[in-house]
Chains A and B, each alone.
Chain A
Amino acid sequence: MKDVSNKIKAGLWLLLIMIGALALTLGNVEASDPTGIATYGESDSVTGLKYAVNFSWTLLGAFLVFIMQAGFALLGGFLRQKNMLSYMAHCFIDSTFGAMVFYFFGFGLMFGGSKLAPGLENGTSVFGGDGFMLLGRSYDVQTIMLWLFQMVFATKTVSIIAGAVAERLKFGAYLTYSFFVCGIIYPIYGHWVWGGGWLSTLPFGAGVKDFAGCACVHTVGGILALVGAWVLGPRKGKYNPDGTANPIPGHNMVFVVIGTILLAFGWFGFNAGSTLAATDLRISIIASNTFIAAAAGASIMLFYTWATTGYIDVAFICNGALAGLVAITAPCAYVAPWAAVVIGVLAALAMRGTVWLVEVKMKIDDPLGAVAVHATNGIWGMLAVGFFADGTYGGVNGLITGSGWQLLAQFIGTVVAMAWAFAWGFGLFAVIKYHMNLRVSDLVEAEGLDTHIHGSPCYPVESGIVTLAGVPIEEVKKVDEEQASLLERALSKDATREKIYSDKLGRWVYALVKPEKTPKK
């Protein structure tokens, strides 16, 4: 019960902070254009119709990005079925709780001072300070359209991390990092690049150019995922005593393939929607580049896995497509289609290399490959702008046009993203680890997070063979707790048991328990 009351207290504090912020912002109550009539104009002018078509395009983009959350959730097919509900819950709560956090704190920190829309005037080059809770002057059709589009982006960043820490993270710890990522880490870095902050105004090239979020979303999310998985430690049974890694197969490849397709579908909105304007006809090239990179990444993985393992490994082909999509996120608007092919191919190979690096060399357990897909290719995509931008769009000139300044700007932006995410991630996860206990108990990990944390398995059995025996009475509950602690102790013993290499099985197994007593006949 103490546990629960602490949670309620934390929730109350949160509410109090939010009400405080509300009161502070309520001073300025004059709305800009909440009806949209002033933006559209009185008669059906061409300017007004341009606004209408751009609004439609951006909102469509936002809706498409929103469905990517379904793609992320379905990638849980890479996990074991006992933890599927837990992972899907993380993804869904990201898009709802994360949206709330972004509404209260994130958006104002990120876009205050950007002057991209009415009500976003106040802010410094380090953090924004306007438009919190969409109150006052930011109660405006343009500002709120921007909010919707940016909110769905922010929630994706958290979902990236969920993949790397899946199957062993405590729910409270998840909620805490989710809050910080959506409320502070992502918005502040986003402000530097997209909100008119110091990175966007660097005096090299055109400043740091991150079209749809290679650094803001993927590098930040990927590095946080890396740190999270590292601090959390590997799943039970992932690593042998000699340091070699065991595969832990997932439970549903159907989900993985459909999830990848949904992500690719949503990515059209992610990239092409980032123009925030349909009158910017570059959108056709952006959308095509996006898919070309995905197709190139998937194709190279097809032949790579075929050549190296003899099988056409669908899991890696799906990851190859995602790697291409992540890498093209920043350069999609600035490069020609041929460059998208190169970016996609290199992205998939970089993804494969990182899987090996993270799993074999760094010994970090990343169940969904979030680090390989998002961190590596977020970095590669940022640098790719510096290499392949051909100067036709936005005045961004890459190395192929003979100018190295943009590459320098991209490099600085990337290093800053990595350092920012690493510092926050390490601090955040270390503090959670020592104050809240990051990891679930051995019993919960063995039996699955679904039934223990969420109260129900992800795939409940057919109701016909489950008889419901009513609400547990106190006496039975006490017995349950005693038995659970006995089981907990027994399972914890397995963690310290001696393991030996079995030549017969070709893998590591527990050494046989020395018989203590013979069973009673």
Chain B
Amino acid sequence: MKKIEAIIRPEKFNIVRDALTELGYPGMTVTEVKGHGSQKGISEVWRGRRYRVDLLSKIKLEITVKDSDVEKIVNTIINESQTGSIGDGKIFIFNVENVYRIRTKETGDAAI
């Protein structure tokens, strides 16, 4: 099992979620996060003074899937959320040792 952690643009989140649901992966954890990579912030104004905010709002998606599904999901996220400009985000893949479903005590792939 793998955990896919994708940091994407907030304005693309709904599109990505719809696409993943259409593919059949309804389970996901979503967090509003702030951060930056190569994108060096946006400029804002506070009572006349211009400044840069270097931490930007992003959405973090976490989805745990079977090994065989990783490619498909990663491709979908990229296709749906890519805009080509700096700040599109990143996708990280982690190994997951085990999963337990609390309600039924199922483990492994059955618990995803």
Contact = CB atoms under 8 A, between A and B. Distances in A.
A510 B51 contact: no
A518 interface: yes
B15 interface: yes
B53 interface: yes
Interface stretch (A8-16, A157-165, A470-478): A470-478
A486 B19 CA distance: 23
Contacts of B97: none
Interface residues of A, number: 41
Nearest to B80: A513
A490 B85 contact: yes
Interface string B63-82: 00000000100111011101
B78 A519 contact: yes
A120 to B, nearest CB: 41
A491 B83 CA distance: 7
Contacts of A504: 21-22
B85 A484 contact: yes
Nearest to B45: A455
Interface string B1-29: 00000000001000100110111000000
Contacts of B15: 494, 509-510
Contacts of B94: none
A362 to B, nearest CB: 26
B52 A470 contact: yes
A484 B86 CA distance: 9
Contacts of A480: 42-43
Interface residues of B, number: 35
Contacts of A454: 45
Contacts of B51: 468-471
B78 to A, nearest CB: 6
A465 B43 CA distance: 16
Contact of B83 (A467, A470, A486, A514): A486
A4 interface: no
A461 interface: yes
A223 to B, nearest CB: 34
Contacts of B52: 468-472
B44 interface: yes
B55 interface: yes
Given A447-B11, A482-B85, A516-B79, 9 more contacts: A454-B45, A468-B54, A469-B54, A480-B42, A487-B84, A491-B83, A509-B19, A510-B15, A519-B78
Interface of B: 11, 15, 18-19, 21-23, 34, 39-46, 50-55, 71, 74-76, 78-80, 82-87
Interface of A: 446-447, 451, 454-457, 461, 465-472, 476-477, 479-480, 482-484, 486-487, 489-491, 494, 502, 504-505, 509-510, 512-516, 518-519
11 contacts: A446-B11, A455-B44, A468-B53, A468-B54, A472-B52, A487-B87, A491-B83, A509-B21, A512-B23, A518-B71, A519-B75
